[in-house]
Amino acid sequence: AISGSIVVIDDNGKPVESAIITGATIHDHTTQRLRVMLDRGLAGWVVRHRTAALIADTSQDERWMLQDYEKEALTSARSAVSAPLLVRERMIGVMTLVHPQAGFFTSEHMALVQAISDQASIAVLNARLVAESQRQANVMTALADSAAAITSSLKLEDVLDQIMDQTTQALRVQAVTLALIDHQTNELVVHAATGSVKHLLLNARFQMGKGIAGWVAQEGIGIVVDETRHDPRFDSNTDQRTGYSTQAIACAPLRYRGEVIGILEALNPEGNIFDQDALLVLTGIGSLAGTAVRNAQLFEHLQAAHQSYRVLFEDSIDPILITRWDGHIVEANRQAVLAVEINKEALRQLSISQLHTPDFELLGNTFENIRSGKTLSYESSLRLRDGHEVPIQVSVRQVDVEGVSHIQWILRDLTERKNLDALREDL
C-alpha cells in the first residue's frame, strides 16, 4: 500500500484520534480532517455497515472520496481495502489501505487486513480506555483546581480574575470572556476578558440570541465550534470591530440554581482545535463560576446594605440601641451616647431595663411579642447619668445584625411635646 489511515471513534461514533500514512510519512493530529471521510467516505461506510469493504477501482466507486493529502492525479484509478476495528461487537474504529494499482487488492488481502484489524482493535481499545481514564483524571483535576481557586475569595474582582486564569490554563486558549445577563435590557454585558480583546470588550453589550455567545445564553446549551466561519451563528461583526481573528470558540452557560445568568467563552485554543473534553471542562467551570459570581455579588450587596445601615444607624437624629434578647446592650449610635451621657463602652455593660422601664405588658416578659415582626411603641422615661429623667417614646422591633436576631430600640425625646401639652393644659 502507498497510503492508509486509522480512525479511532468513541461510543457515539465520533472520531477521537487518527493517523494517516503516505509513503514513509505519518501524519497525526488529522482527526478534524478525517471527520468528513467518516460522514461520506469509505471509512464511514465500513463503520455504518460494520463490515470490511474492498474497492477494486476507486475512480468507479461512489464510496471513495479523494483526500487532500493525495497529491497524485485526481483521476488515477486505485485499489482500496477497509476493515472495522471491532471488540465484542463494540465499534472502535476503522483501518483503510490504498494501493496505486487498480484491482491490486484481493479478497485474501481483505481477509488479512480484517485479521490485522481484529488484533489491533484490542490494543487500540486498551489504549483508548487508558487515554479516556487519563482525560477523566485531567478533567477532575482541572475542575478541582478551578473549584479551589474560584471559591477562595468573595470579592467579585478576585473571583472573575480566578475564573479567567483557570479557564485559560485548563483549555490553553488565547482569550477568555465572561458576560452576565442584564435582565433590564435583555443583553449580555462583558464583565471580564483576557488576551488582546480585554480592553476592547470590557463592558461591551450583545443582544441575546445574537452570535454564538447570545445563542448559548438564550438556549442554555454549551457548544464547541472549531471553525467559526462555517457556523451561521457566528457574528463576524465583533471581529471586525476588535480586529481579532476568532478561529474556534467554546462557550458554556453560567448557571445559578438552575438559572442561566451569563456565559463563559474561550477563544482560539492551541492548534485552533479544542480537545474532546473541552466542553465538559468549560461547562464544569461555568457551573462553578455561576455560583461563585452570584455569591460574590450577593456578598457585595450585603456589604453595601450593611454599610448603608451603619450610616443610617450612626447619623440618625434619634438615639438607637441594639440589644440581645435578654436585654443586654450590644450597640449604640452616636445620639444614644449623647442622650444618656454615658460612653459607648459603658453602655455595653448595661441592660435596656437600666435605662428605662420597658412596657412588659406590651412587649411580653421575654419580649416574645416582638418576634411577630411588628414594631411596638409605648411611652416611658429615660434615666440619665445625673439622675434626671426624660420623657421618651420607645419604638421596638426585631432586626438581624450580621445574620443574628437582635432587638432594636429607638428612643424619641418627648420633652418638647410634653412641654407643649402642659402649655395647652395651662391655657
Buried b (16+ CB within 10 A) or exposed e, 67-88: beeeeeeeeeebbbbbbbbbee
Buried b (16+ CB within 10 A) or exposed e, 33-42: bbeebbeebb
- Tell me the β-bridge partners of 259: 256
3-state secondary structure 186-206: CEEEEEEECHHHHHHHCCCEE
Q: List per-block mean pLDDT (blocks of 10 residues) for the chain, which spans 427 residues.
A: 87 81 79 69 88 89 65 62 90 91 92 91 84 67 69 79 86 90 90 84 88 92 88 86 87 90 90 80 85 83 71 78 91 86 87 91 90 89 86 90 84 87 88
CA-CA distance, 48 to 34, in Å (whole number)? Answer: 15
pLDDT at 308: 62
pLDDT at 385: 81
Three-class SS state of 84? strand
**Is the distance from CB of 57 to CB of 100 less than 8 angstroms?**
no
pLDDT at 2: 84
**Is the distance from CB of 268 to CB of 174 less than 8 angstroms?**
yes
Prediction pTM value: 0.54
Residue where the block lists cell 492525479: 73
Number of residues that this document lists for the chain: 427
pLDDT at 25: 86
Q: H-helix or E-strand containing 293?
A: helix 278-315
From residue 342, how far is each of 11, 312, 332, 391 by CA, in Å? 78, 21, 11, 18
pLDDT at 72: 44
Residue where the block lists cell 391655657: 427
At position 13, the amino acid (one-letter code) is: G
At position 68, the amino acid (one-letter code) is: D
CA-CA distance, 393 to 412, in Å (whole number)? Answer: 5
